[in-house]
Structure 1
């Protein structure tokens, strides 16, 4: 009874309407809104109910409870306007059985680093004429996270997992202003036969404060589902859908993955955002060997530049990496 009460309390907090807490102003640390999952980007940025190892922790920390063995991954993403995102992640299942002794305990951590390129700053003389020009770094963002996931409850129809991650945030603007903050994210994942359901709330915590006025971190709520289909002995298909609440609006993410038994996967998806430049198709592919895996994804941003993500990872086990 105590376990069920704790579980219900967690879900109640997880689904609390964040809009009541939102500031009327802007959000700080906007780089936290950039998804880091390369597999998920190829599937329309749907990832709340997918199991993607260390690279999936940003979408839903509870998904790490499904990790079969340790993995490390590095990804690079070419962003808009000469910016780039680097991601380094590691996940490690341990023998500890968890609070309810149901297993699935995984420790994980990741580092996100965004470089916003360079800008030219013109300094003027008192008469308004040009004095000198300096080239400065436009800005840098850093988020260091660590988390924990486990199987929390088993029922007659499935397994329920919980996850939490804590992060330290540092941002800088033009090499002159710096701000720090602490945050955390919560996640739930349920596996019911072949259907997976995921729910996560990200970027809760202290405000980002450069000078005097602080801005809240950008909250993100993801509700997702995923289901695999066995088409033949050679081909499996996974469909995924996320309903995402961020920047005070709802966004739809839809994706599909076709995986061959040779380890090769092809992905496609769509971000349904008719009022946002981020809407549009995505595509990608992946390959897994016994020890290594590679993912690539492409995102189209209308009249703006397209973005590309590449991930290279390694598993620390003699068994192939298992993903659902």
Structure 2
């Protein structure tokens, strides 16, 4: 029995992100909920709460979708997580949004995180079984314009965690998103935005006889879109993040990034993420690129961290499609 408990603890408390503090590892589960799923935001330093809307709005800030120029969008993203350290951690994400008129819309998503298979041994060290841990979440949200240039959203998540050893566990969580969008006189067509999100607030996950918190987050960000001409556009943004749940594992982090787009066809991105390493945070630079053609989009990002970081050389690949409206 103690062997099984040990394996459960390793998976739910530390393996999805190897570099965690002792306080975090004693109380947090479903760490995959903190992984930025899409290549665009990841290429800009893991920002996103105030960026222009995209198919992964269910993760970043669902309130943004009412300002989208397109009627709808869908996308899929793949991440071989911590590939430089160990194989078997794969993160698959699908998402999209659909606008209902000019003042409301819905978002949806699905996240699936797989862990490497693990052999289970008895007290004598004999292999008795093999576990194939996996976790997933279903996401559904609603956004509405409540004042000029200002929207709010509520997103619900159903989280399922199966370590392959004990009974599977589940939880329900909610996000609240606020998004403000306003034109500026700096340039014709220039827009600045402010976004706020409180995420993963809900029930605990129970494994065996112990309950674990979800990673509750608060995110504040801003962005500035500068279309210098039809051929040259610049987008800059910043995020300030604070993990306040579980109690005792508070962590501040920040990201800054930029995106240059040429003729609405090709984008180049860069950014930097900073956090307190003594509390389990990571510092790293990111780069990325994207292509846009006939409403199809393709994005790639790459993460550059210290040689001892579990996240070193992590990359993301995202493909998507936009329906209606003007390309952006």
Compute the TM-score of the two structures, normalised by the length of structure 2. Answer: 0.81
| 8 Å Cα contact 2:166/2:207 also seen in 1 | no
CA distance in 2, matches of 1:25, 1:135: 25
Query: What is the distance in 1 between the residues matched to 2:44 and 2:193?
Result: 16
Question: Which of 116, 119, 142 is the equivalent residue of 2:136?
Answer: 142
Structure 2 portions without partners, runs of 5+? 1-22, 184-190, 244-248
Question: 1:175 Cα deviation (Å)?
Answer: 3.9
Count of aligned pairs between the two proteins: 284
Alignment of 1:1-324 (within 5 A): 25-67=26-68, 68-80=70-82, 81-82=86-87, 83-95=89-101, 103-125=102-124, 130-132=125-127, 134-137=129-132, 139-154=133-148, 159-193=149-183, 194-246=191-243, 247-273=249-275, 275=277, 276=280, 278-303=282-307, 304=309, 305-317=312-324, 319-322=325-328
2:122 is paired with a residue of what secondary structure? strand
How much has 1:57 moved relative to structure 2?
2.2
Over residues 215-273 of structure 1, what are the superposed CA-to-partner deviations in whole Å (9 max), with x where a residue is unaligned?
12111111000001233442111110000002512101000000111411000000022
- Whole-angstrom CA distance in 2 between matches of 1:37 and 1:56: 10
Per-residue CA deviation, residues 96-130 of structure 1 (Å, 9 max, x unaligned), is xxxxxxx33111110000001212333354xxxx4
Residue by residue over 1:156-190, the C-alpha shift from the partner in whole angstroms, topping out at 9 and shown as x without a partner, is xxx11111111111001134341111111010000
Are the equivalent residues in 2 in contact too, given 1:277–1:301 (CA < 8 A)? no
The 2-side partners of 1:299 and 1:210 are apart by 33
The answer as to whether partners of 1:277 and 1:302 remain within 8 angstroms in 2 is no
Distance in 2 of aligned mates of 1:314 and 1:232: 24
2:111 is paired with a residue of what secondary structure? strand
Q: Is the 8 A contact 1:290 1:320 kept in 2?
A: no
Task: Name the SS of the counterpart of 2:55 in structure 1.
Answer: helix
**Residue 279 of structure 1, CA deviation:** 1.1
User: In the aligned structure 2, how far is the partner of 1:36 from the partner of 1:143?
Assistant: 12
Aligned in 2, Cα 1:114/1:295: closer, same or farther, shift over 3 Å?
A: same
Q: Give unmatched runs, 5+ long, in structure 1.
A: 1-21, 96-102
> Secondary structure of the equivalent of 2:46?
coil
Contact 1:62 1:150 in 2 (8 A): yes
Contact 2:57–2:97 under 8 Å retained in 1: no
Does the Cα contact within 8 Å between 2:253 and 2:281 map onto a contact in 1? no
What's the offset of the Cα at 1:70?
Answer: 1.0
Distance, in Å, in 1 between the alignment partners of 2:122 and 2:209 is: 25
RMSD of aligned residue pairs (Cα, Å):
2.1
